[in-house]
Structure 1
């Protein structure tokens, strides 16, 4: 309700400045960067407050302003304008100005952004390590091993998206990630609030029962009472609808109440990506890739996603590969034994040829000796 009240109180949007958009920064890469940043945040000591901040155009060009989550500011930031120190991963410090009325950083942020070559889609983890001092961890949108790449035979995750499953300790960090990821939908109604965060997002009055959905035009993706269709590319939305339609239910409907919206969008995108990769895989795919997908889906399932049918398909594929590999290995062993037997037979034949040739020679000598003996004088 608090978020809803904030959204309802948002003033009419001011005309936006024209900023240069990174055309190469696709939503899937942004989601991968945010997932990695959330994983980094979950690994930090819980006693030190932190939050994740995805970079939008206004943060890295033009006005160079950085709005901070209002809830975080109310709980941990000074009540008057103050100098805030940002410490990068090399230990270098940057002084910035925190403006209480704007709940954001002004002077000094531009130097930090340019100095670290921040780009739209990068995700930053801010950890409050001392009074008015943040440790900043930067997750790059394009230099990750977290970029999702789909080929006909495999999918590589930047985490090599297996890191999502292996490193996300769902039981111990799930609530921590949600409590600390304060970037979503935190609006203050001023110029420093992220105008692009709520663009297209709206509260849902009701969720249509899936059995009442006739086609994709009736299909909306609602997470924690927010319609997130605008956050998902059209072709991903179509494929996600097909997956939901195959199961006659919203795959995400069991995600925990209050679940981080950006993280939920990333999970939906990854689910579609894995489903596509499963459809495209061939018999020569490495079993490690199948295991990686299953671990990732298992992590999503632990969070409430209905992906059991995808895991069941992977299980069947692994079973088929195991059966095929077992049979192939057995036949190869038979082939080795047969070749060994043939080698021994060839050796026996060779020895027999030598013996036969020797006996034939003896036969000729025997014929001569026999005739000599038969015609000898009495």
Structure 2
């Protein structure tokens, strides 16, 4: 079997690794539009190993997150990738959040997380002395990792297995109709030439809806890019955070809120917020790609979303332009922090699939067709769960490929 896999990020490479395990003789071609693999969501993220505390029991996210962190830790240990299982605190700062925190610990327990602990104020301050709140849940399985190192290890392993990784290969069009030994074949036209294969797998992240459309799919859900901006704590303030401190997330919104993350290479990040990005790879406020911006603003789903979440969206925009407001949000968790302790950090862009009525697709979302599989929503914790997602996708593909 000859597979064409679009997208050289963690999910794409995780899928290729799983396919090689299931079908060692398969020919796999990975098409990546950037000069190197893993240039966007795979490495523009918080660097956290997520364990599956938040996700609805029984959902694909929940199943793959718990399995995924254990697979990822094992991969890092095998390949010498820097990581640390430091644990995380999720802190409730209001009575309403305390009630939601009880729901989270119930979810985490149902999802199979190990060692979850409910901590009152005195107990959690022994772990994070500068954190404020009424109660917290400790998630001991979570940690931090070098995702650049993970990408490099995946790429090295795949190349050693004979997988072709073509960079600078942006997909322009995918056509199915020729014949091969396995039935109908695909011809994928890219900026690096044409590629042919029996089965098309779309793991294109920020451009997955466009790649699907190029293969004949209707874009019923659309990717809307949300930029998450971070500050860094100056060295003099880094002692305020020992490991990971998170708020209790708003159940009406899929983003986790501003939090503190100690990074694997040193230092502490604080953030992110969530604002509309003006380009699908728009990592700064002023980075605009007219086609991407028009694509978002012409989509009725975005306006429906904004109408539903007007106050929250406006608050995120205000915080994007105000260091003072950003700091105030962070002070909810660590009151001693001041504006003077913050300096500009990095940013990431989340590929969020959105329906025409403004609903955000919160679970992983796959569309299967004869001879093709499209991963059309793979938000956080996709980086952590990439190996588990790859196993899931590869199993579906191998079953589908058998009928091509």
Task: Determine which structure has the larger helix proportion and give its number.
Answer: 1
TM-score between both structures, scaled by the size of structure 2: 0.22
Select the structure of larger CA radius of gyration: 1
